[in-house]
Amino acid sequence: MSTRVEGREITLAQAINEALHEEMRRDDHVIVIGEDVGKFGGVYKLTEGLYDEFGAARVLDTPISEAGITGVGLGAAMTGLRPVVEVMFGDFLTLAMDQLANQAAKVRYMSGGKLQAPLVIRTLMGAGRRIAAQHSQTLYAWVSHIPGLEVVVPSTPYDAKGLLKTAIRNNNPVVFFEDKMMYRTTGNVPMGEYVIPLGVADVKRPGDDITLIANSSMVYVALEASQRLAADGISAEVVDPRTLTPLDEGTLIKSAMKTSRCIVIDEGYQRFGASAEIAAVVAHGAFYHLDAPVERIGAMDVPIPFSPELEDLTIPNPETVVNLARKMVRK
């Protein structure tokens, strides 16, 4: 990991919870809106403690109305507040999509810059929880497609905290994806105040022979693959874009130019997915430096099945990455 700072080991869930506490203390205009986020503290306990500290006026338990709460958050954002809306599962973004894609994303542009929507939508992604086809999808490609939205996909507690704080302070609508399987992932987080700008990729492991571009949970797949590859004498560089919009194209291209090979690993569906966009960016930008076509490994293009036996087949794994990388490097 590139970021080594004095701090303590906390989980990704704690990091997000800390970011929410700190931003709500820092700015009275920050409110949290969502289903079960108040008294109950959130389905995954991400908002625990907020209700006790900030009260019902700033931590709003809502009805189960994803479109409504997204739109209410937007209206509040357009009139001076900085709402953080929790959409309990990323799969439920479908219900909120008009408010996100047609309203929040476009209000600044359509008004010629006179209105703005400093809104954060926190939602989930990621398979592996054995909760089947409607609670396991990774749908960040959908929102990354829409101009006007920013899309954050953190992989570590450090990144999650710093990026969420930036997202809350930023004046654009941001969709913030948390992998439900990573909430207990621990990492070093400094005690003090820090923020991470959107649009800055992070090299999670330096290497020379091949670039593995991965975000969120796939960073860990890439890191495990790179360890195994190291045993074969293949040096893999793991680059985490951290945000899909804005996308730090320069860092991704630079890495691929250096290593001359690149695999994009994505927990979203492979077909028309984020991996396709990133691969296109790298293939174009690093073209004259590449020794192999840019490859992609995405989630299998099937609805996510319930049976653990089947579900695990749909998610990219280190084995697949290692095999493909070996073939590409031919060492």
Partner 1 sequence: MLTAKKTSRDETRQEPSYDRETLLQLYHQMQQIRLFEERVVDLYTRALIPGIAHVSIGQEAVPVGICAALRKEDYITSTHRGHGHCLAKGAHPDRMFAELFGKSEGYCRGKGGSMHIADPETGNLGANAIVGGGIAIATGAALSAKLQKNGRVAACFFGDGASNEGLLHESMNMASIWKLPVIYVCENNQYGEYTRADEVTGGDLVERGKAMGIASEHVNGMDVLLVLRAALQAVKRARDGGGPSFLVCETYRYLGHGMSDRDRPYRERSEEDAWRARDPIQRLDDYLIQQKIATQDELKKIVEQIHHELEEAVEFGKASPLPKPEEVRFDVYAS
Specify the residue, 42 or 148, whose C-beta has the smaller distance to partner 1.
Answer: 148
Position 97 contacts partner 1 (CB under 8 A): no
Position 58 contacts partner 1 (CB under 8 A): yes
Residues contacting partner 1: total by CB under 8 A: 43
Distant-in-sequence, close-in-space partners of 59: CB < 8 Å, separation ≥ 6: 31, 32, 37, 38, 47, 50, 51
Of the candidates 26, 39, 111, 302, which one interacts with partner 1 according to CB under 8 A? 111
Of the candidates 1, 10, 72, 131, which one interacts with partner 1 according to CB under 8 A? 72
Q: Determine if residue 184 is left, alpha or beta; phi over 0 gives left, psi from -120 to 50 gives alpha, anything else beta.
A: alpha
Task: In angstroms, give the least distance from the CB of 260 to partner 1.
Answer: 33
Residue 114 burial (CB < 10 Å; 0-12/13-18/19+)? Answer: exposed
Task: In angstroms, give the least distance from the CB of 74 to partner 1.
Answer: 6
Task: In angstroms, give the least distance from the CB of 161 to partner 1.
Answer: 22
Q: Name the residue with tokens 């091949």.
A: 210
Position 18 contacts partner 1 (CB under 8 A): no
Only segment of 61-69, 178-186, 213-221, 300-308 that touches partner 1 (CB under 8 A): 61-69
Position 112 contacts partner 1 (CB under 8 A): yes
Instruction: Respond yes or no: is residue 289 known to be catalytic.
Output: no
Buried b (16+ CB within 10 A) or exposed e, 82-93: bbbbbbbbbbbb
Return the half-sphere exposure (C-beta side, CA atoms, 13 A cut-off) of residue 293.
Answer: 4
Position 114 contacts partner 1 (CB under 8 A): yes
Site mask for partner 1 (CB under 8 A), range 163-192, x = bound = -------xxx--------------------
Of the candidates 12, 84, 93, 108, which one interacts with partner 1 according to CB under 8 A? 108
Specify the residue, 150 or 295, whose C-beta has the smaller distance to partner 1.
Answer: 150
Phi (first) and psi of residue 217, to 5 degrees: -60, -30
Q: What is the dihedral of CA 29, 33, 39, 45, to 10 degrees?
A: -100
Residue 291: beta bridge partners? none
The 3-class secondary structure across 132-148, one letter per residue, is CCCCCCCCHHHHHCCCC
Q: Determine if residue 225 is left, alpha or beta; phi over 0 gives left, psi from -120 to 50 gives alpha, anything else beta.
A: alpha
As annotated, the active-site residues are 135
Binding residues for partner 1, rule: CB under 8 A, are 31, 57-58, 60, 62-63, 65, 67-81, 83, 98-99, 102-103, 107-116, 147-148, 150, 170-172
